[in-house]
Structure 1
């Protein structure tokens, strides 16, 4: 389950309530995404809060964009979150989809490539391994709980990105806009083949999609409203055109059937993305997920 970090009017109470319900419920992971030029909480600061507010659930960044951070400081922050959570951190990493986030932190949009991202990942892994990146007296700590650092997932929707990440990632933290099972299954096959080609164990196969649970037209309207706000870098008419088929909207039994369909193509985990901060949405999904 993803925290509603892209919703308006958040405060600590909302985020803490969501975190505790997720931690108490049947969910495997608690996730949150990163944006800079938006009013969502900072991902690395939020990691510390999630480590304190939860005890069981895996914490997953979906995703951190390393080009928006100093890689050594990012590695230190993530290792700190890993330590505070007792090793419950998994780091989803992506290149990001918005130039404005790069501009907001003074990063060069020309670095928005898989090659540069992989270079930043390599620096972070060297930090986590205890290697001194500079001629400092001591290496940058703390050491992460898991030797070599947290598990890494690549945020992707395309085969080229999947293949390029096979050398450093442990799996996928992708996104499906239209819930196309055939396309998702084909991408999973690419990942399996790419991981096997570099002699690695089978990848963790994850994807995500927006959801709104309820009856009638209200859930689809909720998804549409969320997309209008979240996708503010896309012309509104384009968002309106895609809103009818983006994400999932409907009642509990249809969500269960959708999750079963993804399970049938080998999906290890779905990171559901809320389109409302209403905790009733979370509780209703928890009832569905408890049957898995």
Structure 2
């Protein structure tokens, strides 16, 4: 979803959701920020559950430390009900102290340990366990037994290893589309899940994308990064923009996706850099080859 783009409205968001749901995509994803003008993630989850019928809904990522864990578990269970059991919860610690400060959360809790503690509470809620002296446990029960599957949002091996005990996979990000680095991280996940005695992890990564001819796609990515990465001096964004994400033709995107498929990637989450619905339609033509 183009949630970090300006001037969003109901019809635009609904059009994107329905276009993605029509296929051939496997999931519909969106991220969370607080001190930004994006839609609130869990409210959007309810709308996406109503607007779609097929595609899985994936939060990439929601940040537990910005929420009360019991209320977050209730909200996500409700989203699982409204979507008919199509929710996957990508979670992470987040990258912005200003988001923590905006909701009165302690930036000192921006750690994997603090996140894991909240995950444990959420799983207890989803299991129907009474965690207070209330007459009834916190509901509703999620459609998916034990709650929606969890994926850890990560860029590094330490985070991956620490999540092997509670996550079902990873939902990472690659800035430079380096297949060797991505495969190294996947190997860390495979080893960590094996040591933990778990099934093979679901391996997902993401990158910004823009499809088109000539210089226009790279200029689109650049504009998006300047807007989204507003906490970074513009000269640094200018320096990273030429090599960040994907910018090119549909055929070039197909080749990139083939490369990720070759290292065992289960999913690639394409992050929009424009709210133009034509971008997702052109991406759909490429993705159809992998369906």
TM over 0.5: yes
Separation in 2, partners of 1:170, 1:216: 40
1:96-135 equivalences in 2 (<5 Å): 96-135=94-133
Q: Which residue of 1 aligns with 2:237?
A: 239
Mapped partners of 1:249, 1:269: distance in 2: 19
Provide the C-alpha distance between the structure 2 equivalents of 1:194 and 1:234, rounded to a whole number of angstroms: 33
Counterpart in 2 of 1:256? 254
TM-fit CA distance, 1:47: 0.3
In the alignment, the residues of structure 1 paired with residue 40 and residue 169 of structure 2 have an alpha-carbon distance, to the nearest angstrom, of 24
Deviations 1:69-100 (A, max 9, x none): 00000000000000011100000000000000
Task: Report the Cα offset of residue 291 of structure 1.
Answer: 1.0
* Aligned position for 2:140: 142
SS at match of 1:210: strand
Partner Cα distance (1:38, 1:32) in 2: 14
Equivalent position SS for 1:273: strand
* RMSD, aligned α-carbons: 0.4
1:13 equivalent to 2:14? Answer no
C-alpha distance after superposition, 1:104-129 (max 9, x if no partner)? 00000000000000001110000000
Could you state the TM-score of these two structures normalised by the residue count of structure 1? 0.99
In the alignment, structure 1 segments of 5+ residues that lack a partner are none
1:31-42 aligned at under 5 Å gives the runs 31-42=29-40
Shift of 1:234: 1.2
Q: Choose which of 255, 271, 274 in structure 1 pairs with 2:272.
A: 274
Number of the residue aligned with 2:202: 204
Residues in 2 aligned to 1:236 and 1:127: alpha-carbon distance in whole angstroms: 44
Aligned length: 290
Give secondary structure in 2 for the equivalent of 1:291: helix
Q: Does 1:290 align with 2:280?
A: no
Q: Structure 2: where are the runs of 5+ without partners?
A: none
Structure 1 residue ranges, 4+ long, deviating more than 3 angstroms after superposition = none
Match of 1:44 in 2: 42
Counterpart for residue 171 of structure 2: 173
Per-residue deviation, residues 41-65 of structure 1 (Å, max 9, x unmatched):
0000000000000000000000000
